[in-house]
Amino acid sequence: MIIVMCPNSTEEHLRKVEQKIERAGLSYHLSKGESRTIVGVIGDKKVIAELEMNSLEGVEKTVRITEKYKLVSREFQPEDTVVDVRGVKIGGGHLAVMAGPCAVESMEQLREAAAAVKKGGAQFLRGGAFKPRTSPYDFQGLAEEGLQMLQQVGQEYDLRVVTEIVDVNDVDMISQYADVLQVGARNMQNFRLLQAVGRSKRPVLLKRGLSATISEWLNAAEYIVSAGNENVILCERGIRTYETFTRNTLDLSAVAAVKELSHLPVVVDPSHGTGRWQMVRPMARAAIAAGADGLMIEVHPHPEVALSDGDQSLTPQHFELVMHEVKNIARAMERA
Ligand code: PEP
Ligand code: MN
């Protein structure tokens, strides 16, 4: 349930509302906007159903939420969430770009990629050290050694580091090296992992599952936020359909849907979303035009020898071109 306070309600009115919620054994989340305070009630459904709040002074109305997710919903918090990653903002009109190789392979490869990422004007270096590969015989990543490289190169180029976490026990270890913990598509409904990253304060990039509905995706985000971590960034990376020309079908309508349903920032990954480097550029442009808060793009200095996802990786030259175009589109939409 959401309680909308009157514009002229006082602190005393709010205190009474909070006390009544607490007395019922429920908890709440406050969202103080410019003109309105909204109180989101959390807890046992049956108890909430019996809670009568309309008669309290200062209460304008109460709204029952039909969706299961609450904390991440736009009804709960009308203002956009802006995630701050050591001074770099994601959401609220900023253009955030995360780019780099699918997998960290060597210092040389990572440095070349990072130089291109920086030159293009992106703020985040991405790279996988723990790779969830479809085949057990494919390159699995350099593990902690790869994280050390990411941290080192991130520092050299003043880029924030984004990397994937696949194991619930790795939160502290990966947090020593990375600024953003990426939960991959294959783990979107790994609820233990969601709770584990939720207990951390480190920003989380939550990719949409291979065949997840928008509701399932937002419920996955709810797991993280309800465990205590509000710093969630959603990432649309394409979904499984009957189409085989592309690796996945990039669902750009999900950007508009998420903007309507949730206050969380959303970025788009046209690399995994299409699987074809030729399509990354037009889809990156379209994503920003659709209102995405940023992009995740795979960039490799030599895609033809990449140990993973070479077919969808951009060369440094192509990446620069994409960045030039998306910055112009963001500017045309009066976004930074
Ligand atoms: C990745 O970012 O390299 C990755 C494995 O992505 P996804 O989880 O979207 O497949
Ligand atoms: Mn990849």
183 and 273 share one domain:
yes
pLDDT in tens, 119-140: 999 999 999 999 999 999 999 9
Comparing 64 with 284, which gets the higher pLDDT?
284
Tell me the pLDDT band of 6, cut-offs 50, 70 and 90: very high
Tell me what pLDDT residue 160 has. 98
Q: Decide if 69 is inside a domain.
A: no
When pLDDT is averaged across residues 66-73 and rounded to a whole number, the result is 90
Tell me how far the alpha carbon of residue 183 lies from the centroid of ligand 1, in angstroms: 9
Q: Decide if 308 is inside a domain.
A: yes
328's CB contacts (< 8 A; 6+ apart) are none
Domain-ending residue, one of 63, 91, 112: 63
Q: Decide if 78 is inside a domain.
A: no
100 and 166 share one domain:
yes
Domain that holds residue 118: 83-332
The rounded distance, in Å, linking the Cα atoms of 43 and 21 is 10
Pairing of strands 96-100, 124-126: parallel
13 and 102 share one domain:
no
163 and 281 share one domain:
yes
Backbone CA torsion sign across 299, 301, 304, 305: negative
Q: Whose CA is nearest to atom 3 of ligand 1?
A: 102
Q: Judge residue 156's burial from the number of C-beta atoms within 10 Å of its C-beta, 0-12 exposed, 13-18 middle, 19 or more buried.
A: middle
pLDDT in tens, 170-194: 999 999 999 999 999 999 999 999 9
Q: Decide if 52 is inside a domain.
A: yes
When pLDDT is averaged across residues 19-34 and rounded to a whole number, the result is 91
Three-state secondary structure string covering the chain: CEEEECCCCCHHHHHHHHHHHHHCCCEEEEEECCCCEEEEEECCHHHHHHCCCCCCCCEEEEECCCCCCCCCECCCCCCCCCEEECCEEECCCCCEEEEECCECCCHHHHHHHHHHHHHHCCCEEECECCCCCCCCCCCCCCHHHHHHHHHHHHHHCCCEEEEECCCHHHHHHHHCCCCEEEECHHHCCCHHHHHHHHCCCCCEEEECCCCCCHHHHHHHHHHHHHCCCCCEEEEECCECCCCCCCCCECCCHHHHHHHHHECCCEEECHHHHHCCHHHHHHHHHHHHHCCCCEEEEEECCCHHHCCCCHHHCECHHHHHHHHHHHHHHHHHCCCC
Backbone CA torsion sign across 153, 108, 282, 206: negative
Query: Does the pLDDT at position 30 exceed 80?
Result: yes
Q: Whose CA is nearest to atom 1 of ligand 1?
A: 102
Query: Does the pLDDT at position 29 exceed 70?
Result: yes
155 and 49 share one domain:
no
Tell me how far the alpha carbon of residue 82 lies from the centroid of ligand 1, in angstroms: 23
Q: Decide if 24 is inside a domain.
A: yes
pTM confidence score: 0.92
10 and 107 share one domain:
no
The rounded distance, in Å, linking the Cα atoms of 51 and 1 is 9
Tell me what pLDDT residue 33 has. 78
Tell me how far the alpha carbon of residue 251 lies from the centroid of ligand 2, in angstroms: 18
Q: Decide if 77 is inside a domain.
A: no
125 and 34 share one domain:
no
Question: Pocket around ligand 1: residues whose beta carbon is below 6 Å from it?
Answer: 102, 128, 132, 184-186, 207, 237, 272
Domain-ending residue, one of 16, 32, 63: 63
Tell me how far the alpha carbon of residue 255 lies from the centroid of ligand 2, in angstroms: 21
Query: Does the pLDDT at position 1 exceed 70?
Result: yes
Query: Any idea what the CATH number is for the domain that residue 246 is in?
Result: 3.20.20.70
276 and 308 share one domain:
yes
Query: Does the pLDDT at position 336 exceed 70?
Result: no
Tell me what pLDDT residue 155 has. 98
167 and 202 share one domain:
yes
Query: Any idea what the CATH number is for the domain that residue 51 is in?
Result: 3.30.70.1140
To test ligand 1's pocket by mutation, which of 163, 207, 233 has the most ligand atoms within 8 angstroms of CB?
207
Q: Decide if 71 is inside a domain.
A: no
Residue 268, both tokens: 């788009």
**Which of the residue ranges 74-78, 164-168, 172-176, 207-211 would you say has the lowest mean pLDDT?**
74-78
Query: Does the pLDDT at position 208 exceed 80?
Result: yes
pLDDT in tens, 229-279: 999 999 999 999 999 999 999 999 999 999 999 999 999 999 999 999 999
Ligand 1, atom nearest to 102 Cα: 3
91 and 50 share one domain:
no
Tell me what pLDDT residue 95 has. 97
Q: Decide if 72 is inside a domain.
A: no
The rounded distance, in Å, linking the Cα atoms of 265 and 246 is 26
187 and 46 share one domain:
no
Domain-ending residue, one of 63, 94, 116: 63
Tell me how far the alpha carbon of residue 335 lies from the centroid of ligand 2, in angstroms: 28
**Number of domains forming the structure of the chain:** 2
Tell me how far the alpha carbon of residue 102 lies from the centroid of ligand 1, in angstroms: 8
Ligand 1, atom nearest to 126 Cα: 2
Ligand 1, atom nearest to 187 Cα: 8
Ligand 1, atom nearest to 238 Cα: 9
199 and 231 share one domain:
yes
